[in-house]
Structure 1
Amino acid sequence: MAIDQLLKQVQTQSTVQIPAGWGQGRATFGGLLSSLMLSRLTAVLGDLMHDRVLRSATISFIGAVAPGEVELSTEIFRSGKSVTQASAKLMQNGEVLALLLANFGSARVSAIDIPATSTAPEYQAPDEAIKFAYIPGVMPEFIQQVDLRWAQGAMPFSGTAQPDFGGWMRWNDDFSSMSITHLLGLIDAWPPSVLPMLKGPGNASTLSWNIEFLSHSFNKSSKDWWQYQVTTDYAHSGYAHAVAHIWDDEKNLVAISRQVTTVFA
């Protein structure tokens, strides 16, 4: 089952079956789990969403989610004149395995207006970039769900002296309207920023993820491309700290993503 259908399911029900094909090692792809939690939360918020949009979210991956049934629950902590703070949690077999804390805000009049200081990189076109092809038994299963094109930096496990990379991304699913919920999961499809430094396969997983959205009205479909560029700020003692910027295909900065990754190598 593809991403768009899964996100639509949780808009009307609190349980969903995680299908095969979304694996990430022994766990389910965290980007899918994040999108499911956000989709459920926005559906529950309902009318509260008419004048406010997702400004930021923090996601914690607590335990491995297996294929099969998961339950989603939500809680609204406070909803004021312009800001709503709420959470969604994902449970399996009675355990909380993922948690999303979200902040929604409406636009307000302000004398402060600063344009984005991070500019989109000049990548080669997606058709000219290196396609991150799925290799069974080597790459995570969920890679079959996304189209990643490497345009900058070294590939994972290439033993380079430098981390960091960038490229183009989109879902392989076919749907007409790209929402922030779709984009949230897509952003997490890239591997941890330090994996190019490893000389061979090694495990790494996201511990916590904070993401901020600067743009909300995309007018994009699943066929449109998004640019991604990640930079490692620090890595030591088995933890890596990285920040990524995401632009649309018109070079508009749409999101800033920060992750803490555990590295088992």
Structure 2
Amino acid sequence: MGFSELLQAVRDNPHAVQIPPQWAQGRASFGGLVAALVFEAMRARVPDGRPARSLAITFVGPAAPDVAISFEVDVLREGKAVSQVLGRAIQDGQVVTIVQGSFGAGRESRIAVQAEAAPQAKGVDECQEMPYIANITPEFTRYLAMRWAFGGMPFTGNPSREMGGWVRLRDQSSAEPVSEAHMLALVDAWPPAVLPHLSSPAPGSSLTWTIEFIQPMSELTTQDWCLYRAQIEHARDGYGHVAAALWSPTGELLAISRQTVAVFG
């Protein structure tokens, strides 16, 4: 099943969704996909006109592939402009992912501050792509294409504080509109920015993740390449603190991200 098919599966029946093993990341399902599925269940409970402003995501435990997941949603508060929503992914009676989301309608304001310019990067065709290689790269990378423009690839001994490049869904025969759910996958597709510092393979994973969406969203399709850059702010004792952002092909800021990652090396 492709990304759009899994989003539709949550809309059709949020109480019994199985993620195929082709979306695996080690022994777990790809975290960006799991977060996107929880978000899709949450969005269905929010009134129209209240786009997602921010999500706080905690990966409590691994979501196993090919095992049914139930997505539960509680609307914590619905004010005049803002809805506060809590979503959970539950597998075998255990919570595997929690997402707390804020959805808010726009309002008139005298404050208007433009985003800083996107970083300069080599063109897509000039950047090296991380290929999908069975039994070597994570299974889910068959669905997502990443081309490096900043820093190094994982386990190359590159000490740069930044990492990233161009990203999009792979092999899109037809263009579909990009939603916040797609951006969750595009941002989380990238490995933890601390892994290039290592010279040999070691596991790493996100513990917590907050992401903020710039509204109104730019009109993009799944065939567009977006630019991602992560910057390590601090790393020690097996944990890294990483700030990142995602931009459109024309340099419009799309999302701001921050992750705490655990690394076992």
**TM-score interval for Structure 1 and Structure 2 normalised by the shorter chain:** over 0.9
Kindly indicate which of the two structures has a greater share of residues assigned to strand: 1
Q: Which residue of 2 aligns with 1:224?
A: 224
Per-residue Cα deviation, 1:36-95 (whole angstroms, up to 9, x for no partner): 0001111133xx1x2211000011001111112111000000000010000110011111
Q: Please report how far the alpha carbon of residue 186 of structure 1 lies from its aligned counterpart in structure 2 after TM superposition.
A: 1.7
Q: Is the 8 A contact 2:151 2:158 kept in 1?
A: no
Q: Which residue of 1 aligns with 2:182?
A: 182
* Aligned ranges 1:155-174 → 2 under 5 Å: 155-172=153-170, 174=172
Q: Which residue of 2 aligns with 1:104?
A: 103
Q: Which residue of 2 aligns with 1:8?
A: 8
Q: Which residue of 1 aligns with 2:49?
A: 51
Q: Please report how far the alpha carbon of residue 124 of structure 1 lies from its aligned counterpart in structure 2 after TM superposition.
A: 1.6
Q: Is the 8 A contact 2:217 2:254 kept in 1?
A: no
RMSD: 1.1
Q: Is the 8 A contact 2:71 2:87 kept in 1?
A: yes
Q: Please report how far the alpha carbon of residue 137 of structure 1 lies from its aligned counterpart in structure 2 after TM superposition.
A: 2.0
TM norm structure 1: 0.95
Decide which moves more: 190-199 or 13-22: 13-22
TM norm structure 2: 0.95
* Aligned ranges 1:209-248 → 2 under 5 Å: 209-248=209-248
- Percent identity, aligned pairs only, is 38
Q: What is the CA–CA distance in structure 2 between the aligned matches of 1:166 and 1:20, rounded to whole Å?
A: 26
Q: Which residue of 2 aligns with 1:40?
A: 41
Q: Which residue of 2 aligns with 1:203?
A: 203
Per-residue Cα deviation, 1:156-214 (whole angstroms, up to 9, x for no partner): 10112323212000012534211111111221000001111001001110000000111
Q: What is the CA–CA distance in structure 2 between the aligned matches of 1:124 and 1:163, rounded to whole Å?
A: 18
Q: Is the 8 A contact 1:2 1:173 kept in 2?
A: no
Q: Which residue of 1 aligns with 2:91?
A: 92
Q: Is the 8 A contact 1:177 1:221 kept in 2?
A: yes
Decide which moves more: 221-230 or 179-188: 179-188
Q: Is the 8 A contact 2:51 2:215 kept in 1?
A: no
Q: Is the 8 A contact 2:21 2:29 kept in 1?
A: no
The verdict on how the C-alpha distance between 1:237 and 1:204 changes in structure 2, with shifts beyond 3 A counting, is same
| 1:113 match: secondary structure | coil
Per-residue Cα deviation, 1:11-52 (whole angstroms, up to 9, x for no partner): 12112111120111111110000000001111133xx1x221
Q: What is the CA–CA distance in structure 2 between the aligned matches of 1:106 and 1:252, rounded to whole Å?
A: 21
| 2:135 match: secondary structure | coil
Q: Which residue of 2 aligns with 1:19?
A: 20
Q: Please report how far the alpha carbon of residue 154 of structure 1 lies from its aligned counterpart in structure 2 after TM superposition.
A: 1.2
Q: Which residue of 2 aligns with 1:66?
A: 64
Q: Is the 8 A contact 1:150 1:166 kept in 2?
A: yes
The verdict on how the C-alpha distance between 1:216 and 1:11 changes in structure 2, with shifts beyond 3 A counting, is farther
| 1:44 match: secondary structure | coil
Q: What is the CA–CA distance in structure 1 between the aligned matches of 2:45 and 2:19, rounded to whole Å?
A: 20
Q: Please report how far the alpha carbon of residue 5 of structure 1 lies from its aligned counterpart in structure 2 after TM superposition.
A: 0.8
Q: Is the 8 A contact 1:241 1:261 kept in 2?
A: yes
Q: What is the CA–CA distance in structure 2 between the aligned matches of 1:155 and 1:78, rounded to whole Å?
A: 43
Which segments of structure 1 move beyond 4 Å, counting only runs of 4 or more? Answer: none
List alignment gaps of at least 5 residues for structure 1.
Answer: none
Give the count of matched residue pairs. Answer: 261
Aligned AA for 1:120? A
List alignment gaps of at least 5 residues for structure 2.
Answer: none
Q: What is the CA–CA distance in structure 1 between the aligned matches of 2:216 and 2:146, rounded to whole Å?
A: 22
